[in-house]
Structure 1
Amino acid sequence: MKKLLTGLLVLGLVGGGAGWVLTAPKTLPSDTFAGIAGDAAKGEAVFWATGCASCHMAAEAKGEDQLKLPGGQRFETAFGTFLSPNISPDPAHGIGGWTLEQFANAIQKGVSPEGQHYYPALPYAAYQNMVPQDVADLYAFMQTLPAVETASLPHEVGFPYNIRRSLGGWKLLFLPSGWAVGGDLSEAEQRGRYIAEAMAHCGECHTPRNALGGQTRSAWLAGAPNPSGEGNIPNITPAKLTWSEDEIVEYLTSGFTPEFDSVGGHMSHVVENMARLPESDRQAVAAYLKKVSPVE
């Protein structure tokens, strides 16, 4: 019995140690941004494409106030309520004291400057596919925004989801790699994929998830229950989204559908962001959506 207990203890220690190593936060290679300088002017387009303001501005902010990013918006999910943090350049309450590398590790690896896992409410699963130059440009632009002296509020997440280290296991199991839509794509379709899958992170809302919040990639963009519990987010694969490419472009520009309806809810922010991009980018997204595998 003593040998058995000793053996179980050793196995427990080995297993615990292995789990601790496997769930440790992983950061980008140290030379990721070697020789890269951020361009704030180009970063503005990246800022709108990535939708930073939509979640981090004050609720109901309009006009220039959308460039103030104090956080505080509440996002209710089955795992708890997540509150967007202050990401203004304020050095005390925002990200003004972050380096480019710390910023990149946050949005692409889900790792804080203190070395803790971030919850995937931050869409690093999508942002991980952004190229370093765009990340550097985004960082440069965000440093030009107004600093807001508003403290970030803590998430309202209970046990066991409040165990940050467990997110390392979630990342091992569910963090996707590569593109959801492959195959032989034209240059425009590749651009649309980059915008939709990486920067605009369309799959974060439009793709269904399993019980632990991992995306069901076999049903990419096939629609999902609204995390708040109110209604559903629509299927935008060609099986259900039968609009022409021109009609999709018009929707992403004006918010009006071919049926003379208008965009509502959080999608209105997405349309506002898309409308700020060059029309060629909206055309690229429309071309990409036609290449997504149809899911009934």
Structure 2
Amino acid sequence: MSLPAVLLRILVSLTLALLATLPARAQSNEPGCRPEMASLRLPIQRVQLAKDEARLTFVGHATFLIETPGGVKIATDYNDYVRPPVTPDIATMNKAHSTHNSRSPDPAIKHVLPGWGLSGQGAARHDLTLGDVRVRNVPTNIRTYEGGTDYDGNSIFVFEIGELCIAHLGHLHHPLEPGHLRALGRVDIVLFPVDGSYTLDQSGMLDVLKSIQARVMIPMHFFGGGTLSRFLARTQDIWPVERRDQATITLSKATLPARPTMIVLPGH
């Protein structure tokens, strides 16, 4: 055998030996399975919150999912139509319309907090601490279908998480009086309705926001882009507006904007 043939045989033998030491590639039994498709079958792991953070997700209408670093989940204006994808530990409700309360809340919810007095003998009074969140309410009034007043028929719910104070105005129908503002205290993030008809008119809501002076203002309850745009047109010379691509936002005291800012999350 010639020398070149010997060298070629040796080279082939070494190559086969090297390939034998490499790990075999895993084979899928599913035809056409691509890596990105396979990854969708894995459970989605959300990033753990730091101890001074809170995560808000705009579920729709007046419902937000609020999550705390300790894992407590809260659904605002919990109802039978628009619900978060997880069972909350706490559900707050208001009674102006059926899209703000539930007749059949999930029995797995630990605490269901109606924003009106169920007995008809006065306002609802809530002051609940669960894990790392305190939930309390500030009663307000609502209009009746007959044009009268249902006193204490709505609640502004306040969520205290670490150093953050979040207020959800619910189905607010009237300007806030000094007593309401004192009961609210300092508010860092306010979630407020902007439809301007079923709730307080847009001019009145603008005054409410000025009186609360929150660093972050997130609109809700606007039924469509036209209503929201009309409200934002009123605010463009007062506060900056940030439009986000995702319905979820994570905030902490340290990351609040330096000046009051309107943050718009996708949804309606």
Q: TM-score range by the shorter chain?
A: under 0.3
Query: Larger % of strand: which?
Result: 2
Which structure carries more relative contact order (alpha carbon 8 Å, separation 6+)?
Answer: 1
**What TM-score results when the alignment is normalised by the length of structure 1?**
0.24
**What TM-score results when the alignment is normalised by the length of structure 2?**
0.26
Query: Larger % of helix: which?
Result: 1
